[in-house]
Structure 1
């Protein structure tokens, strides 16, 4: 199935109108995981040069509300968007360059959804963010002169 057909199915399945901006935003989010709004706007304008900032913002909000896109915002960063939804995965963020990668739950199906004390809540999602240095930044910090 072609990506556009798949995106149309996703929109219809969420009972959303299929529009060119929504299709372009879905495509951009799928092609650029953890992208910020400006990066998504740039990618969308590659397909739809006339699209407005507002149309992209509105599409991101609609797609997020419908559960087709996930919005994450690690502390001290701008909002990022990803297409990996409904599986309760987590993220690792580089303190050096800001790159973000997905991290599956450590053990079992969703162990992080079993809180020591849930205070009567019915928990359906947990947000865990690991922080550190990516391999490139670790190498750079180990060799600050850049010489091998």
Structure 2
């Protein structure tokens, strides 16, 4: 397995971290590199990848990096029902997700309707009146092509 330095985009990872006013550290570089090759991954998956490269890294450090990246808008945290939180680098476009109910694979899907937040609720009354929607998260559940093929075989 190549180290962060051998992967070459380390400079762009450092630039991405600097761009959100965070300090560049080995752990932050390793988390961003791992997430770039493993989209829709849990903190546990990130920890496994990072600890291969930086054995002294703790699970808490990975959680801290993911929280800082999420707060800074560098990564997006999604929470499919019944699943651990997953993280991805695709941010800012309010896309949605397809989740396979058999193998749990997660795939991006562009907004179903129009521009972000893509979906807006009907005019609300009562306590919901005046509510402004900034983001809509839609998860489509079903079987991916591989699982469909395995089912019909």
Q: State the TM-score, normalized to the length of structure 2.
A: 0.85
Matches within 5 A, 1:3-22: 3-22=9-28
1:82 to 1:142, Cα distance in 2 relative to 1, 3 A:
same
Instruction: Tell me what 1:105 maps to.
Output: 111
Counterpart CA distance in 2 for 1:79 and 1:125 is: 17
Asked if the contact 1:113–1:124 (Cα under 8 Å) also holds between the matched residues in 2, the reply is no
Instruction: Tell me what 2:150 maps to.
Output: 140
Asked if the contact 2:76–2:91 (Cα under 8 Å) also holds between the matched residues in 1, the reply is yes
- Other structure's SS at 1:35 match: coil
**Displacement over 3 Å in runs of 4+:** none
Q: Compute the displacement of 1:132 (Å).
A: 0.3
- Other structure's SS at 1:29 match: helix
Counterpart CA distance in 2 for 1:120 and 1:5 is: 44
Q: State the TM-score, normalized to the length of structure 1.
A: 0.88
Pick one of 115, 123, 136 that aligns with 1:126: 136
Counterpart CA distance in 1 for 2:96 and 2:140 is: 8
1:111 to 1:78, Cα distance in 2 relative to 1, 3 A:
closer
Q: Are residue 80 (structure 1) and residue 90 (structure 2) matched?
A: no
Q: Compute the displacement of 1:140 (Å).
A: 1.9
Q: Compute the displacement of 1:111 (Å).
A: 6.4
Q: Are residue 92 (structure 1) and residue 102 (structure 2) matched?
A: no
What is the aligned length?
Answer: 142
1:76 to 1:122, Cα distance in 2 relative to 1, 3 A:
same
Q: Compute the displacement of 1:125 (Å).
A: 0.9
CA RMSD of aligned residues (A): 1.5
Instruction: Tell me what 1:70 maps to.
Output: 76
Out of 16-25 and 104-113, give the one that drifted further.
104-113
Q: 1:97-119 CA distances to partner (integer Å, 9 max, x unpaired)?
A: 10000000124333624332263
Asked if the contact 2:78–2:85 (Cα under 8 Å) also holds between the matched residues in 1, the reply is yes
Q: Are residue 31 (structure 1) and residue 37 (structure 2) matched?
A: yes
In the alignment, structure 1 segments of 5+ residues that lack a partner are: 144-148
Q: Compute the displacement of 1:121 (Å).
A: 2.4
